[in-house]
Amino acid sequence: MNLKAFPAMVLILVAASSSRADLTVASLSTVTTDLACNVGGMHVKVTAIIRPGIDPHEFEPTTGDVRRVADADLVLYTGKGIEGFLAKLREAAGTKARFVDVGTSIPSLSMTEEGHKVEDPHWWHSVENMKRATRTVADAFGKEDPANAASYEKNAETYLASLDELQRWIRVKLAELPRSKRKLVTSHDALQYFARDYGFTINPVKGISTGEEPSSKHVKEVIGVIHDQDVKAVFLESIENPRAVEQISLETGAKTGGILYSDGLGETEASSYDSMMRHNVSTIVDGLK
Ligand SMILES: [Zn+2]
């Protein structure tokens, strides 16, 4: 870059960001925050309600969160039942803002929680699902702010191309891991969509939500699977208490293969959707091969 041109560019960026955004969006997931920034570009101000490191299964909005949601033109959430606080938050905010279920066009996988069949909410671990979500967000922004609809559409196309590039990278990286070694043991059942897309089997130590402790019977079953199938590594999750997985690692001799980001993005590492997926795939492949 030409150094002389640099200060001028900084001035332009400052001017753009200090003017009032056309659309204020509150985001209830770190994944939709990244997506909203990419699709919204300079026209959208994104307020992250659930930030990196916060467990979406157990989240309780503060009064500050309620105020920020009340101030937004649009509210994005990932859906499929993960936001148990949604109805209360909407009522407390008393807002007429449209709540957009970003997962709405994505076919659900199901899972069992405490004996009941429920939707699996962790759809973002599939790049194809993220592409559907990108179109949903671009449509919602265009409907709410028609003057900039073409810009949202263009940003979405750019982002979709980057997701295709990410998908190619994942397939190349996964080719290092034979099908027979694609077995995941993680601390809660968040990677079904990932497993479906890339041919893995999963043995979660817990069920769907992060709140419950695993039963000793279930831990024994997982240990049996690790022995029978010669699983090389078990994985921790960024938001989880590591105890159960560490105990299983100790009892089986399977190493702990590193940390996976399952319920959302990270703060420095894995802080974008793209880097989260690359981090998870690299950690899984390098741990299991
Ligand atoms: Zn989860």
Q: Per-residue confidence of the chain (289 residues) as pLDDT tens digits? A: 444 445 445 544 444 444 578 999 999 999 999 999 999 999 999 999 999 989 998 999 999 999 999 999 999 999 999 999 999 999 999 999 999 999 999 999 998 877 889 999 999 999 999 999 999 999 999 999 999 999 999 999 999 999 999 999 999 999 999 999 999 988 778 999 999 999 999 987 765 556 667 777 878 888 888 998 889 999 888 877 788 888 889 899 999 898 999 999 999 999 999 999 999 999 999 999 9
Residue entry with tokens 């980001």:
261
- Beta strand pairing status for 110-113 and 255-260? unpaired
How many Å lie between the centroid of ligand 1 and the Cα of residue 239? 9
Strands (E), the chain: 23-27, 44-48, 74-77, 98-101, 110-113, 116-119, 183-184, 201-202, 233-237, 255-260
DSSP H/E element including 276 = helix 273-288
How many Å lie between the centroid of ligand 1 and the Cα of residue 276? 15
How many Å lie between the centroid of ligand 1 and the Cα of residue 20? 35
Residues 6+ apart with CB under 8 A from 34: 265, 272, 273
How many Å lie between the centroid of ligand 1 and the Cα of residue 118? 13
Dist. CA 39–CA 92, nearest whole Å: 28
How many Å lie between the centroid of ligand 1 and the Cα of residue 119? 12
How many Å lie between the centroid of ligand 1 and the Cα of residue 254? 23
Contact (Cβ atoms closer than 8 angstroms) between residue 94 and residue 71: no
pLDDT score for 218: 78
Angle at which helices 63-70 and 86-93 pack, to 10 degrees?
Answer: 70
Contact (Cβ atoms closer than 8 angstroms) between residue 78 and residue 124: yes
How many Å lie between the centroid of ligand 1 and the Cα of residue 138? 25
pLDDT score for 210: 61
pLDDT score for 115: 80
pLDDT score for 71: 96
DSSP H/E element including 159 = helix 149-174
pLDDT score for 206: 67
pLDDT score for 107: 97
How many Å lie between the centroid of ligand 1 and the Cα of residue 240? 9
How many Å lie between the centroid of ligand 1 and the Cα of residue 230? 26
pLDDT score for 5: 47
How many Å lie between the centroid of ligand 1 and the Cα of residue 100? 20
How many Å lie between the centroid of ligand 1 and the Cα of residue 96? 29
How many Å lie between the centroid of ligand 1 and the Cα of residue 232? 23
50 burial (CB, 10 Å; 0-12 / 13-18 / 19+) is buried
pLDDT score for 2: 47
How many Å lie between the centroid of ligand 1 and the Cα of residue 211? 10
How many Å lie between the centroid of ligand 1 and the Cα of residue 216? 21
Contact (Cβ atoms closer than 8 angstroms) between residue 256 and residue 206: no
How many Å lie between the centroid of ligand 1 and the Cα of residue 185? 14
How many Å lie between the centroid of ligand 1 and the Cα of residue 221? 21
How many Å lie between the centroid of ligand 1 and the Cα of residue 189? 7
